[in-house]
Amino acid sequence: MIAPLIAREVRRGLTGAAWLPVVFFLLVAAIVPFAVGPDPRLLARIGGGALWIAALTAALLPIERLVEPDRADGILDQLRLSGTSEEGVAMAKIAGHWLTFGPLMLLAAVPASILVGLDGPALMRIMASLAIGAPALAALAVAVAALTAGLPRSGSLVGLLLMPLAIPLVIFGAAATGAGQDGALKLEAAVALLMLVGAPFVTGAALRAARA
Amino acid sequence: MSRLIEARGLALVRGGRLLFEELDIVVDGGDGLHLTGRNGSGKSSFIRLIAGLLRPYAGTIERAETALADEHLALDRELPLGRALAFWRGPKLGEALTAFDLDRLADVPVRMLSTGQGRRARLARVMASGAPLWLLDEPLNGLDEAGSRQLASAIAGHRDAGGAVVTASHGPLPGEWRTLELGA
């Protein structure tokens, strides 16, 4: 049941508003030069961090449609009856969300980097850092979506939950966009791996708790 | 006859209230179990308990593979009905579509279905699953006369083939049913 579930997540992501987080990401990146001024040296220094903040806020947008509609419509119950474990559902949702969110964000990172005045090797470092961060952001988004599924006003809760959890990722991810920061990239990968491994279990427990 | 549900000493607590306790249930192939009781007596909770979606407060449940139709549609609304049902990989999909007269609607998006058509679609999902045990929560709700007849013949066919049905229904269902009154 996992492969059809991943395919379903991708289909729903793409037919839904997959472009929305990406446009949001681009908009935040476009606002940075307006906010801090057009000085190229300053922009080059803070550009990586700014793109990470853009990625983090963009990751918040799709959270509400990741789990709650399936819970409210009984799809999660039927998956349980079909013998799929909650952790399996979680993994499929993380994979499906990553496949729609990650590549689109990486594509958008190219024009976004130019907007904040990063090019050449700096662009490559941004791409590597965001490529490693994207699956972790997808895992966090699904876990937070499951934790808040069925709660009233979950829309405002998701930010409060996701932002603090993403801090380690942002620290190392943003640091890895600087020159000569291979260590930061490795630490970012380690944090991303930890989140990817942990999120299915958190999500699974949250899905079970939401049912009781 | 094969044993499809064997539950011993079941107790269920919902919202701090004991709904039932010391309940022993045995359902064999061919059986029909009709749950009765006033509103709030725990009929739907009993069905979710058997389905494995709730945990018993006490007791043990063993059951065969199960299909559930409750108030949720559990079909992707943007897909045509045929594809939405096919997502659940039921081995008897074609048969189920015919039994509930949904063949004509296979290309209609789920969100366009009427209430009654939606009710038939969730019953078709149960039938398509090929599971020996059917759990039907208020299956007659929203069904017209033709739909009720289709349901009755689907249940009869399923039980003749060695399956069992547990249902919570306000209306009477044709055929022989054992009655379990909850909250008595």
Residue range A48-89, pLDDT digits in tens: 999 999 999 999 999 999 999 999 999 999 999 999 999 999
Print the domain residue range for A85: 2-211
Residue range A182-206, pLDDT digits in tens: 899 999 999 999 999 999 999 999 9
Percent of chain A with pLDDT over 70: 100
One domain, residues B56 and B113? no
Supply the pLDDT for residue A108. 94
Separation CA B182–CA B21 (nearest Å):
10
Residues 6+ positions from A154 with CB-CB distance below 8 Å: A64, A68, A148
Regarding predicted confidence, which is higher, B133 or A45?
B133
Supply the pLDDT for residue A104. 93
Looking at beta carbons, which residues of chain A come within 8 Å of B71? 74
Lowest mean pLDDT among A163-167, B133-137, B171-175: B171-175
- Quick check: is B171 in a domain? no
In chain A, which residues touch B (CB < 8 A)? 1, 4, 8, 12, 15, 72-75, 77-78, 80-83, 211-212
- Quick check: is B170 in a domain? no
> What are B136's strand-pairing partners?
B69, B167
One domain, residues B106 and B156? yes
Supply the pLDDT for residue A148. 95
One domain, residues B94 and B156? yes
Q: Choose from A14, A78, A211 for mutation: most chain B CBs within 10 A.
A: A78
Closest Cβ opposite residue B72 in set A1, A77, A212? A77
Separation CA B59–CA B49 (nearest Å):
11
Q: Do A78 and B78 touch (CB under 8 A)?
A: no
Contact B120, B96 (CB under 8 A): no
Query: What's the predicted TM-score (pTM) here?
Result: 0.93
- Quick check: is B87 in a domain? yes
Separation CA A162–CA A160 (nearest Å):
6
One domain, residues B54 and B75? no
Q: Which two tokens mark A182?
A: 């291979």
Distance from CA of A75 to the nearest CA of B (A): 5
Over residues A165-192, the mean pLDDT reads 93
One domain, residues B120 and B32? no
pLDDT at A167 over 90: yes
**Whole-number average pLDDT of chain B:** 93
- Burial of B12 (C-beta count, 10 Å sphere; 0-12/13-18/19+): buried
Q: Do A77 and B76 touch (CB under 8 A)?
A: no
A211 C-beta neighbours (distance < 10 Å), count: 17
**H runs (alpha helix) in chain B:** 43-51, 81-86, 93-99, 115-129, 145-160
Q: At what angle do helices A86-115 and A182-211 cross, to 10 degrees?
A: 140
Per-residue DSSP letter, B181: E
One domain, residues B38 and B88? no
Supply the pLDDT for residue A192. 97
- Residue of B66, B166, B164 lying closest to A82 (CA atoms): B66
Over residues B165-180, the mean pLDDT reads 89
Looking at beta carbons, which residues of chain B come within 8 Å of A77? 48, 51, 53, 68, 70, 72, 74
pLDDT at B184 over 80: no
Distance from CA of A211 to the nearest CA of B (A): 7
HSE toward the beta carbon, residue A169, CA cutoff 13 A:
27
Over residues A91-108, the mean pLDDT reads 94
> Does B68 reach chain A within 8 Å, measured CB to CB?
yes
Looking at beta carbons, which residues of chain A come within 8 Å of B73? 73-74
Q: Do A8 and B87 touch (CB under 8 A)?
A: yes
Looking at beta carbons, which residues of chain A come within 8 Å of B54? 211-212
- Quick check: is B135 in a domain? no
- Quick check: is B92 in a domain? yes
Q: Do B52 and A211 touch (CB under 8 A)?
A: no
Supply the pLDDT for residue A68. 94
Number of domains in chain A: 1
Q: Do B87 and A77 touch (CB under 8 A)?
A: no
Q: Do B88 and A82 touch (CB under 8 A)?
A: yes
> Does B15 reach chain A within 8 Å, measured CB to CB?
no
Residue range B18-67, pLDDT digits in tens: 999 999 999 999 999 999 988 888 899 999 999 999 999 999 999 999 99
Q: Please, which pLDDT band fits residue A38 given cuts at 50, 70 and 90?
A: confident
User: What CATH number is given to the structural domain containing B155?
Assistant: 3.40.50.300
One domain, residues B120 and B46? no
One domain, residues B161 and B73? yes
Distance from CA of A71 to the nearest CA of B (A): 9
Instruction: Return the amino acid letter for A10.
Output: V
Contact A104, A22 (CB under 8 A): yes
Regarding predicted confidence, which is higher, B171 or A12?
A12
Supply the pLDDT for residue A54. 94
DSSP string, chain A: -HHHHHHHHHHHHHHSSTHHHHHHHHHHHHHHHHHH-S-HHHHHHHHHHHHHHHHHHHHHTTHHHHSHHHHHTTHHHHHHHTT--HHHHHHHHHHHHHHHHHHHHHHHHHHHHHHTT--THHHHHHHHHHHHHHHHHHHHHHHHHHHHTT-TTHHHHHHHHHHHHHHHHHHHHHHTTSTT-HHHHHHHHHHHHHHHHHHHHHHHHHHHHHH-
Residue B105, SS3 per DSSP? helix
Output the CA torsion B77→B81→B84→B86 (10° steps): 170
One domain, residues B90 and B105? yes
One domain, residues B40 and B51? yes
DSSP string, B116-159: HHHHHHHHHHHHHHT-SEEEEESTTTT--HHHHHHHHHHHHHHH
> Does B87 reach chain A within 8 Å, measured CB to CB?
yes
Supply the pLDDT for residue B86. 94
Supply the pLDDT for residue B1. 63
One domain, residues B87 and B153? yes
Q: Do B89 and A78 touch (CB under 8 A)?
A: no
Nearest residue on chain A to B88, alpha-carbon basis: A82
Separation CA A90–CA A196 (nearest Å):
11
Percent of chain B with pLDDT over 90: 85
Over residues B73-94, the mean pLDDT reads 93
Number of domains in chain B: 2
One domain, residues B149 and B100? yes
pLDDT at A162 over 90: yes
Print the domain residue range for B95: 69-130+140-165
